[in-house]
Amino acid sequence: MTRASRDRIERGDVVEVRGEMREVKAVRRKERRPEDLVLVFTSGPALRVRTGDVSAVRRGQWRVR
């Protein structure tokens, strides 16, 4: 499985979070914590995750551990 990075997760990708599929609206990176990503979804709250906790299921689809 491919590990996530800001360059790979894009707007429109689908991320599985706690059994729910959510569409990514934006991806942000905090300057203080470059290993963290903030995923902003089209519905629901934003989620901060470590890049190592996100893995690719297939192109455009990701899973958060």
What confidence tens digit (pLDDT) does each residue in 38-64 have?
999 999 999 988 888 887 777 777 788
Tell me if 5 is assigned to some domain.
yes
**At 7, is the pLDDT very low, low, confident or very high (cuts 50, 70, 90)?**
low
Tell me if 20 is assigned to some domain.
yes
The answer to whether 56 touches 9, Cβ cutoff 8 Å, is no
Tell me if 9 is assigned to some domain.
yes
Residue 2: pLDDT above 70? no
Q: According to the model, what pLDDT value does residue 5 have?
A: 55
∠ CA 7-43-35, nearest 5°, is 30
Residue 1: pLDDT above 60? no
Tell me if 63 is assigned to some domain.
no
Tell me if 18 is assigned to some domain.
yes
Structural domains of the chain, count:
1
Burial of 54 (0-12, 13-18, 19+ CB in 10 A): buried
Q: Residue 3: which domain range? A: 1-53
**pLDDT tens digit sequence for 30-40:** 777 777 889 99
Tell me if 11 is assigned to some domain.
yes
